[in-house]
Chain A
Amino acid sequence: MRFVDEFRSADKAHALAAKIAELCEPGRQYKLMEVCGGHTHTIYKHGLEDYLPESITLVHGPGCPVCVIPMGRVDDAMALASEPDTIMTSFGDMMRVPGSKGSFFDAKAAGTDIRMVYSPLDSLKIARRSPDKRVVFMAIGFETTTPSTAMTVLRAAAEGLGNFSIFCNHVTIIPAIKAILDSPDLRLDGFIGPGHVSTVIGCRPYEFIARDYGKPVVVAGFEPLDILQSIYMLMLQLSEGRSEVENQYTRVVPWDGNLAALRAINQVMELRPYFEWRGLGFISQSAMRVRPEYAAFDAELLFDVPGVRVADPKACQCGEVLKGVLKPWECKVFGTACTPETPIGTCMVSPEGACAAYYNFGRMNRRRVVEVSIT
Chain B
Amino acid sequence: MTGRAGPDAGPEAGRPAATWVDEALREHAEHAGPAAARPGAAPPEREQQVLDRIDRARRRRPRVREERITMSHGSGGKATRTLVEAVFLEAFRNPLLEPLEDAAQLHLNGSRVALTTDSYVVSPLFFPGGDIGDLAVNGTVNDLAVAGATPLYLSAGFILEEGFPVADLTRIVASMKAAAEVAGIQVVTGDTKVVQRGKADGCYINTAGIGVMEHEMSLGVANAQPGDAVIVSGPIGDHGVTIMLARGELDIEADITSDTAPLNGLIADLLSATTGVRALRDATRGGVATILNEVATAAGVGVTVNEDAIPVADVVRGASELLGIDPMYVACEGRLVAVVAGEEAGTALAALRAHPLGEQAAIIGQITDEPPGIVLLKTAFGGTRIVDLLVGDPLPRIC
Contacts and interface: CB of A to CB of B under 8 A. Distances in A.
Interface string A97-121: 0111110011011100000101000
B376 A141 contact: no
A65 interface: yes
A310 interface: yes
A272 B8 contact: yes
A contact face: mostly helix, strand, loop, or mixed: mixed
Interface stretch (A245-253, A261-269, A354-362): A354-362
B7 A276 contact: yes
Contacts of B91: none
A275 B14 contact: no
Interface bracket on A: 35 or more
Contacts of B4: 289, 300-301, 307
B386 A363 contact: yes
Contact of A73 (B6, B382, B391): B6
Nearest to A366: B384
Interface stretch (B62-70, B131-139, B207-215): B62-70
A98 B18 contact: yes
A73 B376 CA distance: 37
A367 B44 contact: yes
Nearest to A122: B249
Interface in B43-91: 44, 46-48, 50-51, 53-54, 57, 65-72, 78-79, 82
Contacts of B14: 72, 308-311
A272 B382 CA distance: 44
B68 A335 contact: no
A275 B10 CA distance: 8
Residue of B6, B15, B27, B304 most packed against chain A (CB within 10 A)? B6
A315 to B, nearest CB: 5
Interface stretch (B103-111, B186-194, B317-325): B317-325
A168 to B, nearest CB: 10
B50 A92 contact: no
B201 interface: no
Interface residues of B, number: 80
Given A308-B15, A372-B376, A337 B27 contact: yes
Interface stretch (A45-53, A205-213, A229-237): A45-53
Interface of B: 1-2, 4-18, 20-21, 24-25, 27-28, 31-32, 36-37, 44, 46-48, 50-51, 53-54, 57, 65-72, 78-79, 82, 249-250, 302, 304, 314, 317-318, 321, 324, 326, 368, 370-371, 374, 376-386, 388, 391-392, 395-399
Interface of A: 1, 4-5, 8-10, 13-14, 38, 41, 44-51, 65-66, 70-73, 76, 91-93, 95-96, 98-102, 105-106, 108-110, 116, 118, 122, 140-142, 144-145, 196, 224-225, 272-276, 281-282, 287, 289, 300-302, 304-316, 329-330, 332-342, 344, 350-352, 359-370, 372-373
6 contacts: A8-B380, A13-B382, A41-B397, A98-B18, A109-B70, A339-B57
